[in-house]
Amino acid sequence: MMDGWIRLHRRLQDNRLWKKEPFTAGQAWVDLLLMAEWKDGMTEVRGIRIALKRGQLGMPEQQIAKRWTWSRGKVRRFERFLVQENMILIEQYKNKVTTIITICNYDEYQGYGTSDSTSDDTIDSTSDKQISPENGTSDPQKRYNSIDNKNKNKNKTIKVFDSEFEKVFNEFKEMRKKMRKPMTGFAEELIMQKLVKLSNNDESIKIKILKQSIVNSWQGVFPLKQKQSGKLAL
């Protein structure tokens, strides 16, 4: 087996190919990694707020079955297999409102945390050229920390986004933070799923829906409207 690892962005789950067919066992395992909290956070199930640790996710069995297009029996058999292989731990939350899944050895899969911790970093366009094994470090986390430290001493920075959608989605998250309604990782996933449904997975429509929510200071996302309380949707 080859050493090393690759980064998978959670937007992979937003790609129409990801849920086009019932999940394979391998895809289901990767999906658990994608859904797990990358840092301690909260989720909400049936109106109950549940604290989650890094590497954990809280999702009812029936919701997982629907997501993977599996029967609940198949989900249970798969979870038992992962437990036997020491890949996950499972516990039932109070009153069995949901299942808490803990990824064993989560740091082996997300040890550096760069997929999440650097998504909003401000980096200079020439920073990559300035860091090398000779004058910098090959450790991804130290490398990005070095870039971040350089930026703190700069008067002007350039914010880098992979796409227009990511830029607007980050603006939506910032709006939620200012409203003191920050989103958990699970909440972001639900917003993403709703955007796919409302836009038929058209990225340009997703962007317009997000802008509509930002303009109207809405906490959620809704179908595009020509007018809403005198405000035009973008």
Instruction: Give the CATH number of the domain where residue 94 resides.
Output: 1.10.10.10
User: What number is the average pLDDT over the span 111-122?
Assistant: 46
24 domain residue, yes or no:
yes
Question: What does each C-alpha distance from 194 to 18, 31, 36, 102, 185 come to in angstroms?
Answer: 15, 18, 19, 26, 14
- One domain, residues 46 and 102: yes
- One domain, residues 170 and 147: no
**Lowest pLDDT segment from 36-50, 115-129, 162-176:** 115-129
128 domain residue, yes or no:
yes
Percent of the chain with pLDDT over 90: 27
Rounded CA gap, 3 and 182, in Å? 37
What's the structural domain count of the chain?
3
53 domain residue, yes or no:
yes
- pLDDT at residue 187 is higher than 90: no
What is the per-residue pLDDT for 232? 45
Range of 85's domain? Answer: 10-109
- pLDDT at residue 183 is higher than 80: yes
2 domain residue, yes or no:
no
- One domain, residues 130 and 52: no
115 domain residue, yes or no:
no
- One domain, residues 58 and 125: no
pLDDT tier at 59, thresholds 50, 70, 90: confident
pLDDT tier at 39, thresholds 50, 70, 90: confident
What is the per-residue pLDDT for 211? 92
- One domain, residues 67 and 46: yes
What is the per-residue pLDDT for 3? 61
Q: Output the pTM of the full model.
A: 0.46
- One domain, residues 35 and 84: yes
**Mean pLDDT rounded to a whole number for the chain:** 76
CB 234 within 8 A of CB 215: yes
What is the per-residue pLDDT for 230? 47
CB 122 within 8 A of CB 110: no
175 domain residue, yes or no:
yes
- One domain, residues 77 and 138: no
213 domain residue, yes or no:
yes
- One domain, residues 45 and 128: no
Phi and psi angles of residue 91, each rounded to the nearest 5 degrees, phi first: -145, 150
**Lowest pLDDT segment from 4-18, 70-84, 174-188, 198-212:** 4-18
- One domain, residues 143 and 55: no
CB 221 within 8 A of CB 195: yes
- One domain, residues 103 and 125: no
- One domain, residues 147 and 185: no
157 domain residue, yes or no:
no
User: What number is the average pLDDT over the span 86-95?
Assistant: 84
What is the per-residue pLDDT for 180? 86
What is the per-residue pLDDT for 116? 47
- One domain, residues 185 and 132: no
